Amino acid sequence: MSVAISIAPGLHFVATPIGSARDITLRALDVLRGADVIAAEDTRTARKLMEIHGVPVNGRPMIPYHDHNGAEARPRVLGALDKGLSVAYVSEAGTPLVADPGYQLGRAVIDAGYSVFSAPGPSAALAALTVSGLASDRFLFAGFAPSQTGARAKWLNGLDAAGATVIVYESPKRIHRMLGELCEALGDDREVAICRELTKRFEEVIRGTCGQVRELLADRTLKGEIVVVIGRATAQTPSEQDVETALTIALEDMPLKAASNHVAEMLGMSKRDVYQLGLRLKNGG
């Protein structure tokens, strides 16, 4: 028995699988089944997905909406919303707007005063973060690196600014170049994870330092879809010389206890250790 599903008027961004078709959510299927209009980055892919899951199109309008036709296609979507209809939007795979079209569409719909909803689900960025083994408390999704050399170098050197784990999408054709550039910009010791073909048959995660992973992959041609997850810079442990210098300067203006507390805080060290060093310094040790 099929049950008619009523979907609220407005634009519904629907996440779709990044590999395994069974990763579609039940709500995504409800929205695709019940929306008055289907908009899609690629209407053929959307039809195929709906067919796999037994969701009939039933003559509903399908609007292609991608990077190259946004200006012409947005009025069609807004026109449907003007009539009080619901529109489901799916990108090629994963979550719309995440390195995929949708941002300008959502913005236009919000500006026109209509509702925007999400049927959340798969995204390669979060799937990769989950399996990377790298810190997940703070992360930056940086999308694809620019291809032009100057812009790319600037982009790579800026990755550390957020003090976060960084998630990058990369094509298999450029993965060796990217690893070389990462080692150069962030150092051979930086932890990385290459997450390939997630949720698919040849799923693989290669973890290690940038130098190790680069060496491991040197003779391999990688195929498929790839996410690179980059660990954050670890705080450098200050050398004894650094601590001595900071203490000597602080002792010019402060008594030993205040100077060692100040230096310990500044360098992220134990107050006791810095105090002991300060004592030795004071005693000419």
Q: b/e map of 151-179 (b: 16 or more CB within 10 Å)?
A: ebeebbeebbeeebbbbbbbeeeebeebb
Give yes or no for residue 57 binding ligand SAM (CB under 6 A). no
Pick the piece of the chain touching ligand SAM (CB under 6 A) from 1-9, 53-61, 90-98, 275-283: 90-98
* Least CB distance to ligand SAM at residue 91 (A): 5
CB nearest ligand SAM: which residue? Answer: 94
Count of chain residues binding ligand SAM (CB under 6 A)? 23
| Residues numbered 62-81 forming contacts with ligand SAM, rule: CB under 6 A | none
Using the minimum distance from each CB to ligand SAM, give the nearer residue, 145 or 277.
145
* Least CB distance to ligand SAM at residue 102 (A): 9
Indicate which single residue of 30, 41, 100, 181 sits in contact with ligand SAM (rule: CB under 6 A): 100
* Least CB distance to ligand SAM at residue 39 (A): 15
* Least CB distance to ligand SAM at residue 123 (A): 3
Q: Measuring CA to CA, which residue among 209, 145, 139, 132 is closest to residue 175?
A: 145
Give yes or no for residue 132 binding ligand SAM (CB under 6 A). no
Give yes or no for residue 19 binding ligand SAM (CB under 6 A). yes
Query: Residue 144 pairs with which residues in a beta bridge?
Result: 169
**Which ranges in the chain belong to alpha helices (H)?**
26-34, 43-52, 70-82, 103-111, 124-132, 149-157, 175-186, 210-217, 240-251, 256-267, 271-282
Q: How far apart are CA 256 and CA 247, in angstroms?
A: 9
Using the minimum distance from each CB to ligand SAM, give the nearer residue, 81 or 226.
226
Indicate which single residue of 95, 132, 165, 260 sits in contact with ligand SAM (rule: CB under 6 A): 95
Q: How far apart are CA 51 and CA 34, in angstroms?
A: 15
* C-alpha pair distances (Å), 122 with each of 102, 191, 277: 16, 25, 53
Yes or no: say if 20 and 122 are a contact pair by the CB < 8 Å rule. Answer: no
Give yes or no for residue 145 binding ligand SAM (CB under 6 A). no
* Least CB distance to ligand SAM at residue 126 (A): 8
Give yes or no for residue 125 binding ligand SAM (CB under 6 A). yes
Give yes or no for residue 91 binding ligand SAM (CB under 6 A). yes
φ, ψ for residue 153, nearest 5 deg: -60, -45
* C-alpha pair distances (Å), 266 with each of 163, 190, 263: 18, 24, 5
Using the minimum distance from each CB to ligand SAM, give the nearer residue, 86 or 95.
95
Q: How many residues does the chain have?
A: 285
Q: How far apart are CA 222 and CA 172, in angstroms?
A: 6
| Residues numbered 162-221 forming contacts with ligand SAM, rule: CB under 6 A | 169-170, 195-200
Give yes or no for residue 99 binding ligand SAM (CB under 6 A). yes
User: Which residues in this chain contact ligand SAM in the complex, by CB under 6 A?
Assistant: 18-19, 91, 93-95, 98-100, 123-125, 169-170, 195-200, 225-227
